[in-house]
Chain A
Amino acid sequence: MTEITLDNDLVSHDIIVIGAGLAGLRAAIEIHDMGMNVAVISKVHPIRSHSGAAQGGINASLGSDDSWEAHAFDTIKGSDYLADQDTVEVLCKEAPERVIEMENWGCNFSRRENGRVAQRPFGGAGFPRTCFAGDRTGHNLLHTLYEQVIKRNIRIYSEWFVTKLLVGKGRCLGCVAMNMADSKIVAFRSEATILATGGYGRIYQRSTNAIINRGHGISLAYNAGVPLEDMEFVQFHPTTLFGTNILITEGARGEGGYLLNKDNERFMERYAKDTMELAPRDIVARAIQKEVDEGRGFPGGFVHLDLRHLGKDRIDKRLAGIRQISVDFAGIDPVKKPIPVQPGQHYSMGGVSSDINGRTPMTGLYAIGECACISVHGANRLGGNSLLDTVVFGRRAGAAAVEHVRLSGREDEDVSLDVSGKMKRDEEKEIGDLMTGEGESFATIRDELQSVMQQYAGIFRNRQGLEHALEEISKLKKRASKLKVKSRVKVFNLELMNALELKGMLELGHVIIMGALAREESRGAHYRTDHLERDDENWLKHTLAYKDEEPRLEYKAVNIGMFQPQKREY
């Protein structure tokens, strides 16, 4: 790894990638291989990124009796017809090539008896097309990409926290970032900037996400005037470990696990009689929540995920990570006892509005992976499609950014120096103000935000609750405008980072609630108990939220291709 030695306040790279999970690393590799100078900025070391926590797998129609069209149909039906079909086509067509590329780079995929990459069934899929590395697929993919990044000697600014995007003449010119090691603030100039910063799970009380997943990158774009798309669509994973909400992979059901209520009934029969436990996530999550709400769950609010009939051998071969998590965090060995599970926030279908090449409406700014809404997942993402999304659109955005820099020429140096100098000084003043005087600290405001989101913008929503949540968010934002950081340390000031991130979390909460209140229908993960049906006539459209005093909502059409919307049944 290269040492970070900076002797001035302005650093320049052709292209900057913010975020070092799978999407960011894949983009960086593409840019490097196309011969352009690239740097990756990440608030954590790349291998600590949340991509590494993904368990179940990555979808690709590798089988000779499977096809990209079948994969696309499952994805679009799973999305409740909100996904853009042109982008889904790209996702599914490029899947086999990207997965084989990861295999070639050394990813330790699980194998069939004949030595070929194994595939398992997953929710909402008509074919077993999920490739996996045990139940540690994200970990294996992330380490493989990281190895390829190290091999290429790509510059990584590890433990640097981006605080603003540089914008001049309506164009993204880079970013301002703080080195966590000494709190120094530096302007990064680039001709193109790629956001790959992941999701915002931690604005909810119960989330499978890493603690670092606070949606900060999404709020950077929003604050810079870039619209956020479909933010009201929040995925709740059906099976998270009761207590800590650590993910228990869909692969556990893919391998044959049962969901049981307190009466020992496989209740999915009443919700999705054909696909049972392997219905899509929105349907299974609602079913579990309904069982709990109607008194058929276990005390505390959970159901059982029973793997015992799979036997120790299969559990150890295919679900070793799940076994270890259950033992470490719940004191339960799934070989002997069922796992207590409940739904928890898991994934953001929405994000920074971006297109088939990751381009956002702002020139020079790209967004990929979970922080983006491309939109391939629509109203509900299928398991195994998010890892795929990262490598497919990571590569494409990297290539598109290189083309953009080659074709559009470089921004006038005087303009960019003016902008970066001014924005860096503004940022230093803003942070300085935050650290002067007395005021409320971030933690209580964050706890209240998480509780509001969990209660009113969760699996089940209605007008009354959302209107109340809107009032609460406004109050929290007012309090946050006066919040202060007490700690004055320069080296790893976590309190400062938490305070800066909280402001962005409140913005995202606001956008989610506004979008959910406006959308008077139920589609995919957005379920309104006061509007139970999908309403294609009025709502087959994407939400776009722009920053204003209150988020300003606009709408845009969904790209419909070969699959006309039908009733969604499983």
Chain B
Amino acid sequence: MVRITILRQEGDRKWYDTFEVEERPGMTVLEALFQVQERLDGSLCFRYSCRGAVCGSCAMLINRRPGLACRTQLSDVKGEVIDQSDKHRVLLKKGSQDPKKEEVLVEPLPNLKVIRDLVVDMEHFYRLVDSIKPWINIPDDKSPQENIIDPELQMQIGRYTNCILCSTCHGSCPAAARNGKYLGPAALAKAWRFYLDPRSNKEDLADLLSRVDSKEGIWGCDVVYNCVSVCPRKVPPTTAILKLRDVLEKE
């Protein structure tokens, strides 16, 4: 049996509950949460969908590290020693292993308001991303025709389109923790994705740059690479931010 300790919240009331779940080989933290929800406490809530690390629903803090519950093996984290020196700081590196420890700590992702238990207010995150207007505009009179895109450029864009908007990066970001209006790593990575895309038209690019050219945008980043280290899809938002800074500095 493995113990799973979950930070619960309802309204202003916060408390920790500990449950014992039966471990089976290959079990993920998400499966452990299902065992709790289906067999032990039906009131527990969390988000989920694909269970295969592609939909981005189940971002949370696991042993104080931001990550996807479906992608985290229970066997990898149950023996992990958690650095408790600063309770307000998210952890980025795995702790040392204590072979006798059989417990995992699960808490909601930071920097977003908790709705209940492990469900946080993602609308805030989506609004930040949407505020950079992340889309391609096509003039109404343009007839549909295949664009020619260099395969190398397509691969570069792909590093950023791999983002699944799980907000793990947002939960790890010190600038987002300080300032609720900071656009955050996901929105800024997306801005670079559209900057790179030859299908974006010139006026939209100028508009895009003006939207990220502020303290709430690319100049608010601490350049500590937390987002890069936690991203489950290997998207590098800090790289995108630095490239956008280069572009704006050159202008």
A interface residue numbers (CB < 8 A to B): 1, 3, 44-45, 47-50, 52-53, 62, 97, 100-101, 103-106, 108-117, 133-134, 136, 139-140, 143, 147-148, 150-151, 181, 210-212, 243-244, 246-247, 317, 321, 324-325, 328-330, 441-443, 485-489, 491-495, 498
- By Cβ-Cβ distance, the 9 closest A-B pairs, closest first, are A495-B42, A487-B42, A115-B148, A106-B136, A492-B45, A147-B135, A443-B38, A487-B43, A111-B151
Closest beta carbon of chain B to A513's beta carbon, Å: 25
Could you tell me if A495 and B43 are in contact, using CB atoms closer than 8 angstroms? yes
Q: Is B115 an interface residue, CB under 8 A from the partner?
A: yes
Could you tell me if A106 and B52 are in contact, using CB atoms closer than 8 angstroms? no
Determine the chain B residues whose CB is within 8 A of the CB of A325 once the complex forms.
52-53
**Can you sample 24 A-B contacts with CB below 8 Å?**
A45-B122, A47-B165, A52-B50, A52-B164, A100-B145, A103-B147, A104-B138, A105-B136, A111-B150, A115-B149, A116-B148, A117-B146, A139-B54, A140-B161, A147-B134, A150-B135, A210-B52, A243-B26, A244-B52, A246-B52, A489-B43, A489-B116, A491-B119, A492-B115
Could you tell me if B150 and A50 are in contact, using CB atoms closer than 8 angstroms? no
Determine the chain A residues whose CB is within 8 A of the CB of B135 once the complex forms.
105-106, 147-148, 150-151
Determine the chain B residues whose CB is within 8 A of the CB of A112 once the complex forms.
151
Determine the chain B residues whose CB is within 8 A of the CB of A211 once the complex forms.
48-51
Contact A491/B148 with A104-B136, A147-B135 known, Cβ cut-off 8 Å: no
Assembled-state Cα–Cα distance A321/B53 (Å)? 10
Restricting to B114-170, which residues have a CB under 8 Å from any CB of A?
115-117, 119, 122-123, 126-127, 130, 133-138, 142, 144-151, 154-155, 157-158, 161-162, 164-165
B25, B54, B71: the one contacting A53 at CB < 8 Å is B54
Q: Is B88 an interface residue, CB under 8 A from the partner?
A: no
Closest beta carbon of chain A to B197's beta carbon, Å: 6
Restricting to B24-46, which residues have a CB under 8 Å from any CB of A?
25-26, 37-39, 41-45
Could you tell me if B115 and A491 are in contact, using CB atoms closer than 8 angstroms? yes
Q: Is B56 an interface residue, CB under 8 A from the partner?
A: yes
Determine the chain A residues whose CB is within 8 A of the CB of B123 once the complex forms.
1, 3
Could you tell me if B45 and A48 are in contact, using CB atoms closer than 8 angstroms? no
Could you tell me if B55 and A47 are in contact, using CB atoms closer than 8 angstroms? yes
Could you tell me if A115 and B151 are in contact, using CB atoms closer than 8 angstroms? yes
Q: Is B199 an interface residue, CB under 8 A from the partner?
A: yes
Assembled-state Cα–Cα distance A76/B142 (Å)? 34
Closest beta carbon of chain A to B205's beta carbon, Å: 13
Closest beta carbon of chain A to B96's beta carbon, Å: 21
Q: Is B249 an interface residue, CB under 8 A from the partner?
A: no
0/1 string, B197-214, CB within 8 A of A gives 1: 101000000000000000
The residue of chain A having its C-beta at the shortest distance from the C-beta of B118 within the complex is A492
Could you tell me if A210 and B49 are in contact, using CB atoms closer than 8 angstroms? yes
Determine the chain B residues whose CB is within 8 A of the CB of A100 once the complex forms.
144-146
The residue of chain A having its C-beta at the shortest distance from the C-beta of B72 within the complex is A328
Closest beta carbon of chain B to A347's beta carbon, Å: 15
Contact A104/B115 with A45-B122, A244-B51 known, Cβ cut-off 8 Å: no
Assembled-state Cα–Cα distance A324/B162 (Å)? 12
Determine the chain A residues whose CB is within 8 A of the CB of B138 once the complex forms.
104-105
Q: Is B10 an interface residue, CB under 8 A from the partner?
A: yes
Q: Is B57 an interface residue, CB under 8 A from the partner?
A: yes
Contact A104/B127 with A492-B116, A492-B119, A494-B37 known, Cβ cut-off 8 Å: no
B57, B130, B148: the one contacting A44 at CB < 8 Å is B57
Contact A48/B57 with A147-B134, A317-B155 known, Cβ cut-off 8 Å: yes
> Of B10, B148, B197, which is in contact with the most chain A CB atoms at under 10 Å from its CB?
B148
Determine the chain A residues whose CB is within 8 A of the CB of B199 once the complex forms.
104, 106
Question: Beyond A111-B154, A329-B52, A495-B37: 16 further Cβ-contacts under 8 Å?
Answer: A1-B123, A1-B127, A44-B47, A49-B49, A49-B55, A52-B55, A101-B144, A104-B144, A104-B199, A115-B151, A116-B146, A133-B158, A136-B162, A317-B155, A487-B41, A492-B116
Contact A114/B148 with A1-B123, A50-B50 known, Cβ cut-off 8 Å: yes
Closest beta carbon of chain B to A152's beta carbon, Å: 9
Contact A1/B126 with A114-B148, A151-B133, A487-B43 known, Cβ cut-off 8 Å: yes
A49, A106, A246, A486: the one contacting B42 at CB < 8 Å is A486
Determine the chain B residues whose CB is within 8 A of the CB of A106 once the complex forms.
135-136, 194, 197, 199
Could you tell me if B157 and A108 are in contact, using CB atoms closer than 8 angstroms? yes
Assembled-state Cα–Cα distance A49/B55 (Å)? 7
Determine the chain A residues whose CB is within 8 A of the CB of B54 once the complex forms.
52-53, 136, 139, 321
Closest beta carbon of chain B to A484's beta carbon, Å: 10
Determine the chain A residues whose CB is within 8 A of the CB of B151 once the complex forms.
110-113, 115
Closest beta carbon of chain A to B55's beta carbon, Å: 5
The residue of chain B having its C-beta at the shortest distance from the C-beta of A51 within the complex is B55
Closest beta carbon of chain B to A26's beta carbon, Å: 15
Closest beta carbon of chain A to B80's beta carbon, Å: 17
Closest beta carbon of chain A to B236's beta carbon, Å: 15
Closest beta carbon of chain B to A402's beta carbon, Å: 18
The residue of chain B having its C-beta at the shortest distance from the C-beta of A142 within the complex is B55
Closest beta carbon of chain B to A240's beta carbon, Å: 10
The residue of chain B having its C-beta at the shortest distance from the C-beta of A45 within the complex is B122
